Amino acid sequence: MDSVLQFLKELAANNNREWFQANKKWYEESREKVLFLTDVLINEIGQFDHEVKGLQPKDCMFRIFRDVRFSHDKRPYKTNFGSFICKGGRKSMNPGYYFHIEPTGCFMAGGIYMPPAEPLRIIRTYLADHAEEFLEITEAPDFKKEFPALYDDQLKTAPKGFPKDHQHIDLLKYKSFIYSKDMAPSLVSNEKYVETMVEGFETLYPVNRFLYEALAQ
């Protein structure tokens, strides 16, 4: 994966269509490597989370092209590769597993990011009644060692329809239910990279299982 990181590094320094077109083959080779990695991870994750079995890597991997229509930042390309492995693919808004490759910082994550209003209400309602079960998962020493805290994105006050004095109101304020872990870019080229991510995703699996149970209500 060294060539993938080098491609992204060069892209960051030359984020324009002329350079990208001149290096289209390098991009395509890098993309194929990330698709292959995604495929490997789908197969490995599928051993413990059957929801992802049969996924196509292309349905999980994010496009490198930025939507600049409503952005002040007009750079045409992202400077990272990433895939979100979940039932139905990245567009489904289901709980899943994400990996991010970028020369300035790599990470892995799991859970559900910024779900729409109705799924979020359903998750909060379930969490309000099953907070102890959720905390039993996320406060377990082995889990907390790897993923110490939820992604910090909360409402300032209690969400509509939930009592302000709920015992676990701080949990209910979250707008995303994501746990993440930074990874050194050098690890991407290490032979233990896949093994490390699979171990991390397996640790995250009980959170995703809880979120699936919540959404099934």
CATH class of 2-215: alpha beta
The answer on pLDDT for 58 being more than 90 is yes
| pLDDT tens digits along 136-194 | 999 999 999 999 999 888 999 999 999 999 999 999 999 999 999 999 988 988 889 99
The answer on pLDDT for 67 being more than 80 is yes
State both tokens at 56: 């196509």
Mean pLDDT of 12-36: 97
Mean pLDDT of 25-37: 97
Contact 38, 85 (CB under 8 A): yes
Global confidence as pTM: 0.94
**Could you tell me which of 90, 60, 65 has the C-alpha nearest to residue 78?**
65
Which residues make Cβ contacts (< 8 Å) with residue 38, sequence separation at least 6? 57, 60, 61, 83, 85
> What does the alpha-carbon distance between residue 127 and residue 1 come to, in Å, rounded to a whole number?
40
Res 72: pLDDT:
79
| pLDDT tens digits along 91-139 | 998 999 999 999 999 999 999 999 999 999 999 999 999 999 999 999 9
